[in-house]
């Protein structure tokens, strides 16, 4: 190995963890920020299409926490027979229907900018035109007074809704609400607070759009409110704080041995010119919690134990990254006589998923087809697949003729799905020859584990779409060099199939040379081979390949280890 190769190895030894995806922490790119804003309605429509009314629990705690605001005898609307309530962001009606069931005097205006959500409200068994008016309205763009008479609403409920709006557009929502609120009316507010465990998880997953604003895996967004931001945002529009608390609760999932710290802010706002101090009022507190009298802006942080959360199990899964089965989908893959049913991450989540191993790439489909049509490539050999992701279709095809196949990936989530896919697709006699193992490139412990499985190294090493991140190229070839068979009696090959993206072919070839690999042949879809060996092009000599080459951007590079 030359000096450059030795330096490269030393650099990689200093790296504790190598992934085939970028580890940058720059947050969401400008392109995706604009897309999430532009398509916000579409993402929420997809959300309600998937979850219907099952995602959030019905908010039966409203009577306990804010009953005085809905009752006819409430001081703010004393003497009136019917009280008007506006539910902003009504969703599937988890606030609407508990309210009309508890308060016969209430009439509710329910709006959401998702047409599917509004349709769910109208289709509910308890929907009644005499009690509820449901309509589609984007409060950042549409005039609310076109649907509701100005200054006619007694109470506005905003429960986990303002967090879905871009911070720069929140003032538009509040101005809209202010138009229809009575001078003596109030806004009841509940939403995510800064420091919530979900926010910490989003930071780790590099899903930050802007300060305290994040995108979830399904494209919907969530803002986390600090007391200062919330107070100033409402005050700028002409609201005063009557009640304000940050509430904390530990949610325990014993089956998964998880303790999750939830934080949310709960507040009541009134129009400034009509606001009256109400010292000591603390929405969201159980009676047993004692507090000291304070000003009308009560900003304490309160631990609550018997407080009802309106987060369903689905929300806990979404917030804390526990991947449920409904976030995956089954795709059928036909590989020249091999028929697989592969579980992958659902398409609606793939666009924000940092791990590239939870989906099936076109290069894997092509390489699997090559191996199926040309079983001699792996026949009687020991085969290693690098970065195979959750699909593993190349490894599963290779095991048909190989003596041993080891399928590896550095992502535990991808490996978990890979194990499920292998078990569900292969017959028992094949399962004895296919092993799945975790392998982070450049990780000496992982490399040693793989080496112990095949002490003589591997005759064929395969990688599909593993070359597109520049920082992964050197550890890729370093790991391949460590694990390929050093036998001089036969040619041992490293085969890479990919779409060239951020790393060009000369860079790949240069990195390969540093670790003793030479490019023996190459192939590009739709281009006649100029190679003298024609190793790869011979794989396509027989059969109809029209349906098995999904894009002309695909390339195959065939490397041999220098003797």
Residue 373 · residue 238 · CB < 8 Å: no
CA gap 192, 235 in Å, rounded: 19
339 in a structural domain: yes
* Residues 15 and 152 reside in one and the same domain: no
Determine the straight-line distance between the first and last CA of the chain, rounded to whole angstroms: 12
* Residues 271 and 346 reside in one and the same domain: no
* Residues 7 and 142 reside in one and the same domain: no
State pLDDT tens for residues 338-372.
999 998 877 655 554 556 677 888 999 999 999 99
pLDDT higher than threshold 70 for residue 130: yes
pLDDT higher than threshold 80 for residue 308: no
* Residues 251 and 394 reside in one and the same domain: no
280 in a structural domain: no
Between these two residues, 308 and 378, which has the higher pLDDT value?
Answer: 378
> What mean pLDDT value characterizes the chain?
82
281 in a structural domain: no
CA 221 centroid distance within chain = 11
Residue 76 · residue 69 · CB < 8 Å: yes
Backbone angles phi, psi at 83, to 5 degrees: -110, 135
* Residues 14 and 60 reside in one and the same domain: no
* Residues 17 and 68 reside in one and the same domain: no
* Residues 458 and 432 reside in one and the same domain: yes
* Residues 73 and 44 reside in one and the same domain: yes
- Residue 369, phi-psi category: left (phi > 0), alpha (psi -120 to 50), beta (remainder): alpha
Q: Taking the CA atoms of the chain, what radius of gyration do you get in angstroms? A: 30
State pLDDT tens for residues 377-391.
999 999 999 999 999
| CATH number for the domain harbouring residue 376 | 3.40.50.150
List the domain range (segments joined by +) for residue 219.
30-275+289-320
Which residues are within 8 A (CB) of 544 and not within 5 positions of it... i.e. 6 or more apart? none
Quick one: pLDDT band at residue 150, thresholds 50, 70, 90? very high
46 in a structural domain: yes
pLDDT at residue 63, rounded to an integer = 84
State pLDDT tens for residues 260-289.
677 889 999 999 865 444 333 333 333 333
CA gap 144, 377 in Å, rounded: 67
* Residues 351 and 463 reside in one and the same domain: yes
284 in a structural domain: no
The secondary structure of 271-315 as a DSSP string is: EGGG----TT--TT--TT-------SS---EEE-SSPPP-B-HHH
pLDDT higher than threshold 50 for residue 92: yes
66 in a structural domain: yes
283 in a structural domain: no
CA gap 15, 17 in Å, rounded: 6
Our count of domains for the chain comes to 2
Considering only 26-30, 503-507, 551-555, which range has the smallest mean pLDDT?
Answer: 26-30
* Residues 148 and 120 reside in one and the same domain: yes
pLDDT at residue 437, rounded to an integer = 95
Angle at 436 (CA atoms; ends 434, 442), nearest 5 degrees = 125
Quick one: pLDDT band at residue 73, thresholds 50, 70, 90? low
Quick one: pLDDT band at residue 326, thresholds 50, 70, 90? very low
* Residues 294 and 239 reside in one and the same domain: yes
The secondary structure of 380-418 as a DSSP string is: T-EEEEES-TTT-HHHHHHTTT-SEEEEEES-HHHHHHH
* Residues 465 and 540 reside in one and the same domain: yes
282 in a structural domain: no
Angle at 361 (CA atoms; ends 357, 363), nearest 5 degrees = 125
CA gap 388, 466 in Å, rounded: 9
Measured from the Cβ of residue 348, the count of other Cβ atoms closer than 10 Å reads 17
Quick one: pLDDT band at residue 541, thresholds 50, 70, 90? confident
Residue 284 · residue 301 · CB < 8 Å: no
């Amino acid at each position: 190995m030359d000096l450059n190769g030795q330096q490269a190895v030393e650099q990689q030894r200093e790296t504790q963890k190598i992934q085939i995806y970028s580890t940058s922490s720059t947050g969401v790119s400008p392109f995706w920020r604009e897309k999430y804003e532009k398509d916000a309605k579409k993402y929420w429509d997809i959300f309600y299409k998937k979850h219907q009314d099952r995602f959030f629990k019905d908010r039966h705690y409203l009577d306990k926490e804010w009953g005085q605001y809905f009752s006819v005898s409430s001081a703010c609307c004393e003497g009136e027979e019917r009280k008007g309530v506006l539910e902003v962001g009504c969703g599937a009606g988890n606030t609407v229907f508990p309210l009309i069931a508890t308060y016969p005097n209430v009439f509710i205006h329910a709006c959401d900018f998702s047409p599917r959500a509004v349709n769910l409200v109208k289709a509910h068994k308890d929907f009644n035109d005499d009690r509820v008016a449901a309509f589609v309205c984007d409060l950042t763009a549409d005039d609310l007074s076109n649907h509701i008479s100005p200054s006619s609403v007694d109470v506005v409920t905003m429960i986990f809704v303002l967090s879905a709006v871009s911070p720069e557009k929140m003032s538009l929502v509040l101005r809209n609400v202010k138009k229809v609120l009575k001078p003596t009316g109030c806004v009841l507010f509940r939403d995510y607070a800064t420091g919530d465990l979900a926010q910490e998880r989003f930071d780790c997953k590099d899903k930050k759009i802007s300060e305290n604003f994040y995108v979830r895996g399904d494209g919907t967004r969530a803002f986390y409110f600090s007391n200062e931001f919330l107070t100033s945002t409402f005050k700028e529009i002409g609201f005063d704080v009557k009640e304000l608390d940050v509430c904390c609760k530990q949610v325990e999932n014993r089956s998964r041995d998880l303790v999750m710290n939830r934080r949310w802010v709960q507040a009541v706002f009134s129009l400034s010119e009509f606001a009256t101090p109400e010292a000591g009022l603390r929405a969201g507190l159980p009676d047993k919690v004692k507090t000291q009298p304070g000003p009308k802006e009560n900003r304490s942080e309160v631990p609550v134990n018997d407080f009802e959360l309106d987060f369903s199990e689905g929300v806990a899964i979404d917030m804390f990254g526990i991947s449920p089965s409904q976030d995956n989908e089954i795709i059928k893959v036909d590989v020249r006589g091999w028929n697989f049913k592969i579980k992958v991450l659902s398409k609606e989540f793939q666009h924000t998923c940092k791990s590239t191993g939870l989906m099936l790439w076109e290069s894997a489909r092509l390489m699997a087809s090559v191996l199926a049509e040309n079983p001699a490539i792996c026949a009687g050999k020991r085969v290693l697949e690098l970065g195979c992701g959750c699909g593993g279709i190349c490894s599963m095809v290779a095991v048909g003729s190989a003596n041993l196949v080891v399928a590896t990936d550095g992502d535990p989530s991808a490996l978990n799905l890979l194990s499920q896919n292998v078990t569900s697709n292969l017959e028992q006699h094949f399962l004895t020859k296919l092993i799945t193992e975790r392998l982070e490139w450049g990780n000496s412990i992982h490399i040693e584990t793989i080496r112990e499985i095949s002490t003589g190294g591997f005759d064929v090493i395969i990688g599909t779409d593993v070359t597109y991140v520049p920082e992964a190229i050197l550890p890729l070839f370093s790991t391949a060099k460590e694990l390929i068979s050093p036998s001089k009696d036969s040619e041992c090959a490293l085969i890479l199939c990919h779409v060239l993206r951020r790393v060009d072919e000369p860079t790949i070839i240069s990195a390969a040379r540093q670790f003793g690999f030479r490019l023996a042949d190459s192939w590009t879809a739709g281009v006649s081979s100029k190679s003298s060996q024609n190793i790869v092009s011979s794989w396509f000599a027989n059969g109809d390949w029209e349906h098995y080459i999904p894009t002309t951007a695909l390339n195959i590079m065939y490397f041999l280890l220098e003797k």
